[in-house]
């Protein structure tokens, strides 16, 4: 299991975070290893299947080259369960005062999501400087560029609707550190396909990443 001290370490590990909804704990470590071989060590496992926590636990135990986090974290209880399962970081699709309070006590980095200036201001006031921009297709790269002027210290990981084709538009934004995408782990893909998709993404997007 890989632990990282700050969310910046997660955001700079590569140009893309693989966002995956996985339901088979036995298969999950091989998927994570294939991603890592392709240059994508960071995988966000969404808590959208009954087996998601077991998936995180299996990757943390059997794929030490991967940095596995938990996504779709909606409550303090989710945070506790994800950390207990071995999540190296936590991601939520929004922010609430309750989650902020729990995140301050969380032993792993936390990436909350915003999509409006008001949400961003609340997050900055609460001490966060890195955010998931979700859903990214609402506003898109232009919205992120517009946020950079008044909020120059904020950094983002846009997620939701990101593809290999539109990812460069986001990475060229001055405040985007990394993108999150689901296309690296299509249903039924074998290890070779996943590794190839990861390698293609890193080759195309790596030169655009700001570290």
Q: Which residues are known catalytic residues?
A: 44, 132
Closest C-alpha among 165, 126, 158 to residue 143:
158
CA distance 77 to 69: 15
- Tokens 């990394």, residue located: 178
The distance of Cα 14 from the centroid of its chain, to the nearest Å, equals 11
DSSP H or E segment with residue 179 = strand 179-181
Q: Under DSSP, is residue 40 helix (H, G, I), strand (E, B) or coil?
A: coil
Task: Count other C-beta atoms under 10 Å from residue 165's C-beta.
Answer: 9
CB atoms < 10 A from the CB of 33, how many? 20
User: From CA 75, how far away is CA 99, in angstroms rounded?
Assistant: 6
DSSP-assigned letter for residue 92: -
Q: Write down how long the chain is.
A: 211
Who's near 144: CB < 8 A, 6+ residues apart? 133, 156, 158, 170, 173, 175, 176
């Amino acid at each position: 299991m890989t632990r990282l001290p700050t969310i910046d370490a997660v955001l700079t590990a590569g140009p893309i975070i693989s966002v995956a909804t996985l339901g088979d704990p036995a298969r999950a470590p091989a998927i994570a290893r294939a991603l890592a071989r392709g240059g994508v060590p960071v995988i966000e496992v969404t808590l959208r299947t009954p087996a998601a926590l077991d998936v995180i636990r299996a990757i943390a135990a059997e794929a030490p080259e991967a940095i596995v986090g938990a996504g779709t974290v909606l409550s303090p209880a989710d945070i506790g369960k994800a950390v207990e399962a071995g999540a190296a970081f936590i991601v939520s699709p929004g922010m609430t005062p309750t989650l902020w309070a729990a995140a301050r006590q969380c032993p792993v980095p936390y990436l909350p999501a915003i999509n409006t200036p008001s949400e961003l201001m609340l997050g900055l006031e609460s001490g966060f400087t890195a955010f998931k921009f979700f859903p990214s297709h609402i506003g898109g790269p232009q919205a992120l560029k517009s946020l950079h002027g008044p909020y120059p210290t904020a950094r983002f990981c846009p997620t939701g609707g990101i593809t290999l084709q539109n990812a460069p538009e986001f990475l060229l934004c001055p405040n985007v550190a990394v993108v999150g995408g689901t296309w690296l782990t299509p249903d039924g893909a074998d290890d070779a396909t996943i590794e190839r998709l990861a390698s293609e993404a890193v080759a195309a997007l790596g030169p655009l990443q700001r570290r």
